Amino acid sequence: MNAYDEYMKQVVKPMRSELTNAGFKELLTEEDVKEHMASAKGVSLVVINSVCGCAAGLARPAVVAAINELEVKPDHLVTVFAGQDQEATATMRGYFEEVPPSSPSIAIWKDDQLAYFIPREQIESNAMETIKDHISGVLSQIVSS
């Protein structure tokens, strides 16, 4: 591992823990993603995490706040990290090829299909509260349907 890779591993630690501390499972490899997607029943909330400060700095806290306020939560909370866990991210994106890749982004997967997708463009120019309300509103409808 080169010095840059080691540096980036340290830089992203708090960005990873912001989600894992909230109960998200990191899918670090292609195998992790395939195993989750093959076995997960119900609703999976998938966060494609990112280093990008402008959007990711809003996405992570908005997702955590949305999850915390929901009465009925998704069955699975998972995350891949774009730019860090490249194989895992590419594999996850392969499950919803109909949407252009963006990071950060949020996918809601239900019954073996993409139920909803929030791309970076709907995150970066909004207030955290607006993003949280968007996520919790969509999740409330999908989880309870």
Task: Round to whole Å and give the CA distance between 22 and 122.
Answer: 22
Which one is catalytic: 33, 52, 62, 123?
A: 52
Contact call for residues 50 and 103 (beta carbons, < 8 A): yes
- Is residue 54 part of the annotated active site? The answer reads yes
3-class SS letters over 49-93: ECCCHHHHHHHHHHHHHHHHHCCCCCCEEEEEECCCCHHHHHHHH
Tell me which CATH code domain 3-144 carries.
3.40.30.10
This prediction has a pTM of 0.95
Task: Round to whole Å and give the CA distance between 42 and 138.
Answer: 15
Task: Round to whole Å and give the CA distance between 29 and 32.
Answer: 5
Quick: pLDDT tens for 17-75. Answer: 999 999 999 999 999 999 999 999 999 999 999 998 778 899 999 999 999 999 999 99
Quick: pLDDT tens for 97-106. Answer: 999 999 999 9
Quick: pLDDT tens for 86-126. Answer: 999 999 999 999 999 999 999 999 999 999 999 999 999 89
53 CB-side CA count, 13 A: 1
Which one is catalytic: 17, 41, 54, 68?
A: 54
Residue extents of the structural domains in the chain:
3-144
Determine the 3-state secondary structure of 105 from DSSP.
strand
Bin 69: left if φ > 0, else alpha if -120 < ψ < 50, else beta: alpha
- Is residue 99 part of the annotated active site? The answer reads no
